[in-house]
Structure 1
C-alpha cells in the first residue's frame, strides 16, 4: 500500500504533534512536507479546553503556521452541532474552559451560572478548574431534564508529566450521579471527521485520519469510513490492535515516519 493518493489529512494533536508544551521531534518538517506535497490538513482534537486561536498560538510557538479554519476542537464541534440541532439562544450550563465557553457564545447560546437549574443543555468538556459547585450544578440540571452533551469521551490525557485523567472521567462522575448517559460529539463519533471533511472539500477516499488513540482517532475514522494512520507516540500500542474488531490502515512510530512515508511518494508502505 502507498500514500501517494492522499490529498488531505485530519490530524489529532495531543500525543501526535506534542506532549503538553513539548513538540514531538520532526514537527516543523512534518508540516513543511505536507505543504510541499500540497496535502490539505485540518487539526481535529478531542481536547476541548482551548480555542482555535489558542491552538494557533501554540503551533506558532513551536514554529508552525496555520489558519483558524484548519483547527477544530471538540468544544467547537459541540457548538456547531448544537447550532444545527438546538433552538436558537438555548441556555447551556457548560463545564469547560475557553474552548467550550467561547465556542458556545460565538454560536449565540446563553450560558447558565452556578446553581441556575433551568438550562436546556449541559455541555461537559475538560475543565482544569473543575469544582464541586460545577458538578453539582450540572447534576441538578441533568436531573431536571437538561440534555447531557459530552464534548469527548477520552478517559486519559497525555501531558509532559505522563497520563492524567481526561474528560471521560468527568462524564463518568456525572453519569453516576444522574443515571443519564451523555451524547458524545468528539471522536470516536464521526461528527468531528465529517465537519473536517466539509472544510477540506476532499473526498473521503482521498482523506486519511492521523492519531494516537485506537478507541477515539482510529475507531472514529472507521465510523467515518476513511483510512487511518496510528502513531505510537501517544496513548495506544501496536499490541492493543490484536484484541479489537477494527484496525488502522497503517501503524507508524511517530510523525517523522509519517513524513518519510509521504516523502516516499509511490513507494510501498507496510500496512497495519
Structure 2
C-alpha cells in the first residue's frame, strides 16, 4: 500500500462515508475536529442532489458538526454551474426533476424553471435536469419525457443507481434516469462522479495541487473511479456500497482502503505527528 503522506486537501463524499440516512457514522465529530485541528481544507462533494448546501449544513449541525456552505459542493450545484457556463441562463428554460438541491441552484443562477406539462412551443424546456427525487411521480416523468421528445437536452446530476440509507441500500437517481432513457431512447449527460467535472470544481475551490489532494468515498464506480479519472489519489471506506471484494474484482481501485472514518482520523493524526 502506498504511504499515506503529502496530503494538503480533501474531497469527501457524504452518504455512506459520514452517515447512513440520518444515522451518523461512528467517529464523525472526532473526524471533523481532526480536520480543523490540522487546518486541512476540505470540500464535502456529494452526488446526492436532493438537498441544498444550506440543508446539508443544518443536517451536519444536528450531528454535532459545524461546516460552512462554501465547504459543500453537491452534484446539483455542480450541474447548475456547469450549465451556466454553456447556456445563457436568461434565455434558457429548464425542467427539473429532484428535490430543492436540484432546482434551487438552477434558479439561483438565473435559469427559468418550467412546470408540469408546460410543453407547448413557447413553454417547453431547453434542458431536462434530473436529480434524486423522493417524490417522483407519473406527471414528473411524463413532463420530462415530453420535453425530451421535443428536443430538450438531457442532464443527470449523477448516475448512482443505488443509495445507502439507514434502512439499507435503495434505488438512486440512476434508476430515474434509466426510466426516462427507456421511455425516450435518449442517454443523459452525467455531471457528478465518476465524471471528473465535480472533482475539478472542488479542486478549484480548494486551490490545492492535484498531487496533494485526495478523495474519500465509499463507492468504487463513482467516488474512486472519479478520482482515477481526475488524476488524484483516493481512500475508500467500507461503510457504504462497495466492499473489499469489489476492489479485488476491478482493474482500478483506491490508493487506500480502510474500515471507516475513525481509521482516517487516526491516519491523519499520525501523519501530523
TM bin, normalised by shorter chain, reads: over 0.9
- For structure 1, the 5+ residue unaligned runs are 268-272
- Is the Cα–Cα contact under 8 Å of residues 4 and 262 in structure 1 kept in the other structure? no
- What is the CA distance between 1:112 and its match in structure 2? 0.6
- Is the Cα–Cα contact under 8 Å of residues 232 and 251 in structure 1 kept in the other structure? yes
Corresponding residue number in structure 1 for 2:98: 96
- What is the CA distance between 1:245 and its match in structure 2? 1.6
CA distance in 1, matches of 2:251, 2:3: 23
Q: CA RMSD in A?
A: 1.0
- Is the Cα–Cα contact under 8 Å of residues 2 and 265 in structure 1 kept in the other structure? no
Q: 2:217 aligns with which of 189, 193, 211?
A: 211
CA distance in 2, matches of 1:247, 1:156: 19
Divergent runs of 4+, >6 A:
none
Corresponding residue number in structure 1 for 2:182: 176
CA distance in 2, matches of 1:122, 1:4: 43
Q: How many positions carry a matched residue from both structures?
A: 267
Corresponding residue number in structure 2 for 1:270: none
Give the match's secondary structure for 1:57.
helix
Is 1:187 the counterpart of 2:187? The answer is no
Give the match's secondary structure for 1:209.
strand
Is 1:251 the counterpart of 2:253? The answer is no
CA distance in 1, matches of 2:17, 2:234: 13
- What is the CA distance between 1:262 and its match in structure 2? 0.8
Deviations 1:196-254 (A, max 9, x none): 01110000100000000000000000011000000000000010112212110000000
Corresponding residue number in structure 2 for 1:74: 75
Corresponding residue number in structure 2 for 1:202: 208
Deviations 1:134-171 (A, max 9, x none): 00000010011000000000001111111111000000
- Is the Cα–Cα contact under 8 Å of residues 53 and 74 in structure 2 kept in the other structure? yes
- Is the Cα–Cα contact under 8 Å of residues 228 and 248 in structure 1 kept in the other structure? yes
- What is the CA distance between 1:188 and its match in structure 2? 0.2
- For structure 2, the 5+ residue unaligned runs are none
CA distance in 1, matches of 2:249, 2:17: 23
TM-score by length of 1: 0.96
- What is the CA distance between 1:104 and its match in structure 2? 0.6
- Is the Cα–Cα contact under 8 Å of residues 152 and 184 in structure 1 kept in the other structure? yes
Give the match's secondary structure for 1:163.
strand
TM-score by length of 2: 0.96
Further displaced range: 7-16 or 28-37: 28-37
Give the match's secondary structure for 2:271.
coil
- What is the CA distance between 1:266 and its match in structure 2? 6.9
CA distance in 2, matches of 1:157, 1:70: 22
Is 1:166 the counterpart of 2:168? The answer is no
